[in-house]
Amino acid sequence: MAQRIPCLYVAESDIGGRGVFTAKSLQKDDLIEICPVIILPKEDLCFIEKTTLHDYYFLWGVNQKLGVLALGYGSLYNHSYKPNAFYKLDLTNHSIDFYCVKNIAAGEEITVNYNGDPKDETEVWFEKRNE
């Protein structure tokens, strides 16, 4: 089930911290990565939220009452309100799948909108917007 394009790598990001980059050009609609997940029961989320892992987990499930940690590079993609990729939660196969929303050049950082929808401009928990 795990699938990753071998051109992905992690490096320091201008956005902050580390990010996921591509060593070769990717095309719009390309599958970037299928990340298996570790499902966290809702009872564990109150503990996770008090740790560094809070910034790395995804809400999960039909009602998003559970959490998951994405394996592979899944939890390392940085946020952007103008992302070049998006993710889909695959509840059946227990994975988060990342796809290109536009062409991505070799050497470019791959970003997603943490709100789940590439066009959603709702503030995220770690950032206040001054726009």
Backbone φ, ψ for residue 84 (5° rounding) = -105, 5
Pairing of strands 109-112, 78-79: parallel
**pLDDT, mean of each 10-residue run, the chain (131 residues):** 73 92 95 94 84 79 88 92 95 96 97 75 54 37
Q: Which long-range contacts (CB under 8 A, 24 or more apart) does 39-45 make?
A: 39/66, 39/67, 39/68, 39/94, 40/66, 40/67, 40/68, 40/69, 41/66, 42/66, 42/67
Domains of the chain: 3-112 (2.170.270.10)
Amino acid at 120: D
Pairwise CA distance, residues 44 & 93, whole Å: 22
Which runs of consecutive H residues, i.e. helices, occur in 1-131? 42-48
Position 126 scores a pLDDT of 54
Position 131 scores a pLDDT of 37
Position 98 scores a pLDDT of 95
